[in-house]
A and B are shown apart, each in its own frame.
Chain A
């Protein structure tokens, strides 16, 4: 831990040594401004992704084709709301308020994962999201359970348990479709066709184009590079697609005997950056829905505040 009394550049050195030794940083500890800033950006972006991520799958709750599937999906989307809450709390330990983070999301200042700007057009998309998007999230997040910042690491342990549950449910949904009628199989294939590349892009830009990565690795916020995580996901997903008897929409996909990994074709990074800039098929709708829910609920939040103030006044009157 860093001593408050140390000289400024000594403190930075002590901090670097502390995290390099795999120690945890807690909210009350001294930390470099950049470290806190990086964490606030990453954790709040992660929280926003959980909240916006409720929308694409939430789109199918009222149309889930069995009562069991409806309950599973509703509970899943509810879990994502819970993840948003844990993560907002983790970010709040860095002295940023939830109101501020929510305002940044709604103003468009804060980003969220681009994957949620794609539409869910069929029921199979619910399966594809669980299988691939929650699957990619796990690959990304398991290393975060060892993140140097204690509150984030602890939140991720809880989140990861639930994400792996979601991933299994999504895969199981895809399995039911792939063993179903010809229309259901076609639905599963179509969902994979549309979700594959966006899922591959979830790990962020390639390493040579990832501005924040090196410092995050040094601070033990990040453990593996974007490309390493992406490769891990691809190797896993290829096997799973084979088990589902559906085809990954990449004619150049092939096993590399030398590296022992699956090589993919060219990733369309132009599309990725366009979506990041807000030009995804559903970017505007997702934001509009979030703002509408927030604005529609304003009178409820105001009522709760007004009622609490009245209750306090009444209690004081009794006490006086």
Chain B
């Protein structure tokens, strides 16, 4: 196996997570509970796709083999994707989407806030833009999780089911491996473990207002960031990549 460049790997992890989550959010177009929410969810999808473009474009430059963001997005296999698994789970109902947004965006806003001080100028610049977007997503999702949790009996149950379903996948966001270690040591990436307590505090505060509770931490699946995914990713990519795969010589 060839040696992995930790910076390239890092850009893929950040870019793929943004891309796959953006793709899931985009699935809401013309299906949201209100026209206003349709517009909001498309906005959030656009933010994620925009971040993905920046991270993957930089990944291509770091790799130096002439691959641009589209080559990386459309011409890699599922096992070459490095997104966290929480991003690839099906969009589910509106409660699932809002709970995922809450868990992920709260994490990401804290991560990017710290990443603005990265020793890597490109990543610091992307973080500056992404930080604000993710803080907004977290706020929007938090408001909705509270409404759903403290709304009707049905919405409460759906929101609690969503928390139970998604909670185990949140832990992967805070795990570090040799790639992360190398990046943390050189000041390229912040250490997510260092703000897990702060993150948990924010999540618990929202869930408390929503009259929702956290399930037990008895299962913490991981692997997405090293290419071991759920069954869902291959379908997502089959759909997303269909045209560039069917017409490899075409420019769009």
Seen from chain A, the residues whose Cβ lies within 8 Å of a Cβ on chain B are 51, 54-55, 58, 61-71, 74-75, 77-78, 81-82, 84-85, 88, 123, 173, 176-177, 180-181, 183-184, 289, 292-293, 296-304, 306-307, 310
How close is B41's CB to chain A, nearest CB, in angstroms? 9
**B228 / chain A contacts, CB cutoff of 8 Å:** none
> In chain B, what residue has the closest Cβ to A70?
B49
> In chain B, what residue has the closest Cβ to A55?
B30
Contact of B46 among A75, A180, A302, A303 (CB under 8 A): A75
The residues in B between 4 and 48 inclusive whose CB is less than 8 angstroms from any CB of A are 19, 23, 26-27, 29-39, 42-43, 45-46
**B33 / chain A contacts, CB cutoff of 8 Å:** 293, 296-298, 300-301
**A78 / chain B contacts, CB cutoff of 8 Å:** 29, 38-39, 42-43, 46
**B249 / chain A contacts, CB cutoff of 8 Å:** 181
Q: Which of B151, B154, B239, B240 has the most CB of A within 10 A?
A: B151
**B23 / chain A contacts, CB cutoff of 8 Å:** 62
Q: Is B155 an interface residue (CB 8 A)?
A: yes
Contact of A51 among B35, B70, B148, B154 (CB under 8 A): B35
Q: Which of A58, A296, A300 has the most CB of B within 10 A?
A: A300
**B243 / chain A contacts, CB cutoff of 8 Å:** 63-65, 123
0/1 string, B232-249, CB within 8 A of A gives 1:
000000011011100101
Q: List 9 A-B pairs, Cβ < 8 Å.
A: A62-B26, A67-B73, A70-B49, A77-B42, A78-B42, A85-B39, A176-B251, A293-B31, A301-B33
Complex-state Cα separation, A60 to B70, whole angstroms:
17
Task: Please determine whether A303 and B39 come into contact, CB atoms closer than 8 angstroms.
Answer: no
Q: How large is the interface on B (under 10, 10 to 19, 20 to 34, 35 or more residues)?
A: 35 or more
Complex-state Cα separation, A69 to B240, whole angstroms:
12
Contact of B252 among A66, A82, A302 (CB under 8 A): A66
Seen from chain B, the residues whose Cβ lies within 8 Å of a Cβ on chain A are 19, 23, 26-27, 29-39, 42-43, 45-46, 49-50, 52-53, 56, 69-70, 73-74, 93-94, 146-148, 150-152, 154-155, 158, 239-240, 242-244, 247, 249-252
Task: Please determine whether B244 and A65 come into contact, CB atoms closer than 8 angstroms.
Answer: yes
Complex-state Cα separation, A254 to B35, whole angstroms:
44
Where chain B touches its partner, the secondary structure class is: helix
Task: Please determine whether A303 and B151 come into contact, CB atoms closer than 8 angstroms.
Answer: yes
Given contacts A65-B74, A71-B49, contact A81 B250 (CB under 8 A): no
**A173 / chain B contacts, CB cutoff of 8 Å:** 252
Complex-state Cα separation, A176 to B252, whole angstroms:
6
Q: Which of B23, B49, B56 has the most CB of A within 10 A?
A: B49
Complex-state Cα separation, A177 to B31, whole angstroms:
29
Contact of B38 among A64, A81, A181 (CB under 8 A): A81
Given contacts A67-B53, A181-B249, contact A303 B240 (CB under 8 A): no
Complex-state Cα separation, A82 to B252, whole angstroms:
27
How close is B237's CB to chain A, nearest CB, in angstroms? 11
Task: Please determine whether A303 and B147 come into contact, CB atoms closer than 8 angstroms.
Answer: yes
**A304 / chain B contacts, CB cutoff of 8 Å:** 147, 151
Task: Please determine whether B42 and A300 come into contact, CB atoms closer than 8 angstroms.
Answer: no
**A177 / chain B contacts, CB cutoff of 8 Å:** 252
Task: Please determine whether A67 and B155 come into contact, CB atoms closer than 8 angstroms.
Answer: no
How close is B245's CB to chain A, nearest CB, in angstroms? 10
Complex-state Cα separation, A184 to B250, whole angstroms:
7
